[in-house]
Structure 1
Amino acid sequence: MRRIIKVKYHLLVLIIEITILLLALLLAYNFISMPSKKTTFYLKDNTVPTLLNTLDKQGYPTYAIDKYVLKYMTLPKKGWYSLKGEKEGRFQFFKSLYTKKAKTMHIKIYAGETAVELTQRLANDMKLNAQKLLKAYEAQSIYKEADIFSGQYTLARDADANTSIDSLFEQSHNVLDRFIKKNYHKKPKLLEIKILLIIASIIQKESNSIEEMPLISSVIYNRINKNMKLQMDGTLNYGKYAHTIVTSERIKTDESEYNTYKHKGIPPAPLGTVSIEALEAAYHPAVSHYLFFMLRKDGSHQFAQTYEEHLKNIRAFKSKSNDNNQSKLKQIKKSKVSS
């Protein structure tokens, strides 16, 4: 009997010691506090590895034990979070993390924008430094332009330059990944994507019409296949010339590889931001024999298979324009006489 009591006593002592040890470990763990720093970050999903990796990148050191502790806590969902630098124990930090959602704002990235234009407008919208934003963009850029797709994005109001650009790049990479999964059986080479983005940027410069984009694309491919120069004004809307009118003088004097009146093939880099529709058109051109197109007054284009047909379209357009101008002059004269 005494032996049984002795065994039970030692077992009880052991349980108490283990309990005290665990409590001491938990207490010690709780004292491993997080840095008292303000930061804003974006979580792309609500998994433990993503949370810990994101915190590490933001300067909040994490440890192997954290992933076990987080199994018993409410994880923050996908989205923006803002930490105010409050001093708190490790348990409280992780326990309350899901409640620390950041205030957000919607920003618009327009098709045809250059990296400089994009970052300048983003700086105005978010009250950030344009140079820091551009530097962050260039640090991640693969294609020089068109790394970020046009569209609407959600950013935290108090996100800094690097965090904002990181988020735009990550969201755009997701768009590109979905495009690749939809259209390729295996991952394409970087050069193939770059060529598609260059063609998409030409399409974007020539037309914003989703219906016309595949036709514009077909003209580009048809001219390349016939070893013809593209001779498209849009390719001269690069860099600081992004939104300038292309004149005959400019066509004569611009010696860059962007001048497709002088150089065969496509420009060396994308011209600006593109929409996913323009990229789809670059990959899926319409089946046509068109080699030429001209802009109508209503913003749409008239296409032609031969140069003769193209010239005929131009003459018809000019004749109609002259008739309209004459009609307007007559109306003006008539109104003056009657008055």
Structure 2
Amino acid sequence: MSRNAILLYVFLNVVLFFFISIFYYLSLTSSYPSVINIPKGSITSIITHLQKNNLDINRLDSILLNFFGSPQSGWIEIHPTNNITYETSKGDFLYQLTNSKAALKEITLIPGETMYFFIENISSTLGLDKKELWEAYQEYTSYPDGVILPNTYKVPLDIGPRYLMSYLIEQSMKEHKRNAIKILGRYDEKQWFNYITIASIIQKEAASKEEMPLIAAVIYNRLKIKMPLQMDGSLNYGEYSHQKVTPHRIRNDKSVYNTYKNYGIPPYPVGSASMDAIIATIKPADVDYLFFVKNASGGHSFSNNYKTHIDNINQ
């Protein structure tokens, strides 16, 4: 065998040994977190950060990562599991490290809920400061409530208060505009949020979707004859969202939301409103009802005169 042939044979064996070693190394299994926070910086600094957090990763991995790609910064979900850690091969972990998407959390605003409790929920879910959330919210809108549409939103774990509120408000305002154009054919913000304010009261008062157009009719009928709305739902604003409205509360609440003391609708929504409530506001039932009261079936009994209303109360 010639010298060149021997050298080629040795070289091929070295290469083969190298690839076998790398393959073996990448097949080694270990436990890794399901969600990892990747700092901004070079691959070397990322490896150092992960080592300090007791992950099974070393300098060789920094070399291998150059072939897999660079990890994105922020919280990323390495493996979709409910467990804190999971076991996988080194190769799969390095691949996931460079290809996984941002770790997301769900925050939900239910129809009728107020910003006060939505921010409480955000703070608890994402670990964000409530004061900073309020400051960010007020930076992007002048409406105390009713701007963010009820929905479930998926947001990154490491999102900050300002970006979060900017995103939620911007997306909701775009949706408000789309809905207005779809239903009304045009978008006038002042007119639209006048509807949202009425819809937010309907959302609080109605026992069902079917009742919403009827309650909308009651509101418009009362406004037409300059009768106070006297809706308990309007007093379920902010931190009072889940509190029963008592006579003491009615007498002592001096806010603009007290429709027992103030004529007309409040200047702002009292909470979030669903599309059903918004549509009911725009398309109320064609009835002459002025009163409604809860009945034994869990719904409301409606009437167009006070005498019948008192009878319904007694029943």
Instruction: Give the alignment's TM-score, normalised by structure 1.
Output: 0.62
After superposition, the C-alpha distances for 1:183-223 in whole angstroms (9 at most, x for unaligned) are 223322x2212211110111111125211111111110111
Partner of residue 110, structure 2: 110
- Give the Cα separation in 2 of the matches to 1:99 and 1:170: 29
In 2, are the aligned partners of 1:145 and 1:273 still within 8 Å (CA)? yes
In 2, are the aligned partners of 1:145 and 1:270 still within 8 Å (CA)? yes
- Give the Cα separation in 1 of the matches to 2:309 and 2:232: 16
1:117-196 pair list within 5 angstroms? 117-188=117-188, 190-196=189-195
The Cα RMSD (Å) is 2.2
- Give the Cα separation in 2 of the matches to 1:208 and 1:160: 37
Partner of residue 55, structure 2: none
Task: Classify 1:204/1:101 alpha carbon distance in 2 versus 1 (closer, same or farther; 3 Å).
Answer: same
- Give the Cα separation in 2 of the matches to 1:301 and 1:208: 7
2:221 alignment partner, SS class: helix
Deviation at 1:178, TM superposition (A): 2.2
1:294 alignment partner, SS class: strand
- Give the Cα separation in 2 of the matches to 1:149 and 1:208: 20
After superposition, the C-alpha distances for 1:260-299 in whole angstroms (9 at most, x for unaligned) are 2222111121111222221121111111111100012443
Partner of residue 321, structure 1: none
Task: Classify 1:298/1:150 alpha carbon distance in 2 versus 1 (closer, same or farther; 3 Å).
Answer: farther
2:255 alignment partner, SS class: coil
One of 65, 71, 84 as aligned partner of 2:73: 84
1:179 alignment partner, SS class: helix
Task: Classify 1:302/1:208 alpha carbon distance in 2 versus 1 (closer, same or farther; 3 Å).
Answer: closer
Aligned partner letter, 2:272: T
Deviation at 1:255, TM superposition (A): 3.2
Aligned partner letter, 2:73: K
- Give the Cα separation in 2 of the matches to 1:308 and 1:171: 47
Deviation at 1:120, TM superposition (A): 1.4
2:226 alignment partner, SS class: coil
Partner of residue 253, structure 1: 252
Partner of residue 93, structure 1: none
Aligned partner letter, 1:184: L
1:230 alignment partner, SS class: coil
- Give the Cα separation in 2 of the matches to 1:138 and 1:83: 31
Deviation at 1:107, TM superposition (A): 2.0
In 2, are the aligned partners of 1:149 and 1:276 still within 8 Å (CA)? no
Deviation at 1:311, TM superposition (A): 0.9
Partner of residue 220, structure 2: 221
Aligned partner letter, 1:203: I
Of residues 283-292 and 152-161 in structure 1, the stretch that sits farther from structure 2 once superposed is 152-161
In 2, are the aligned partners of 1:151 and 1:275 still within 8 Å (CA)? no
- Give the Cα separation in 1 of the matches to 2:125 and 2:255: 33
- Give the Cα separation in 2 of the matches to 1:125 and 1:307: 47
After superposition, the C-alpha distances for 1:135-180 in whole angstroms (9 at most, x for unaligned) are 1111112321011011211212222222222222233123212211
- Give the Cα separation in 2 of the matches to 1:114 and 1:185: 28
Task: Classify 1:233/1:134 alpha carbon distance in 2 versus 1 (closer, same or farther; 3 Å).
Answer: same
Deviation at 1:128, TM superposition (A): 1.7
- Give the Cα separation in 1 of the matches to 2:275 and 2:72: 34
In 2, are the aligned partners of 1:114 and 1:271 still within 8 Å (CA)? yes
Query: Within the alignment, does 1:202 sit opposite 2:191 as a pair?
Result: no
Aligned partner letter, 1:172: S
- Give the Cα separation in 1 of the matches to 2:304 and 2:273: 27
1:279 alignment partner, SS class: helix
In 1, are the aligned partners of 2:207 and 2:298 still within 8 Å (CA)? no
- Give the Cα separation in 1 of the matches to 2:145 and 2:251: 25
Aligned partner letter, 2:179: F
- Give the Cα separation in 2 of the matches to 1:105 and 1:255: 38
Aligned partner letter, 2:101: K
- Give the Cα separation in 1 of the matches to 2:254 and 2:143: 22
1:288 alignment partner, SS class: coil
- Give the Cα separation in 2 of the matches to 1:240 and 1:257: 15
Of residues 161-170 and 299-308 in structure 1, the stretch that sits farther from structure 2 once superposed is 161-170
For structure 1, which runs of at least 5 residues remain unmatched after alignment? 1-35, 39-81, 86-97, 317-339
Partner of residue 52, structure 1: none
Deviation at 1:100, TM superposition (A): 6.4
After superposition, the C-alpha distances for 1:225-247 in whole angstroms (9 at most, x for unaligned) are 11111111111222332221111
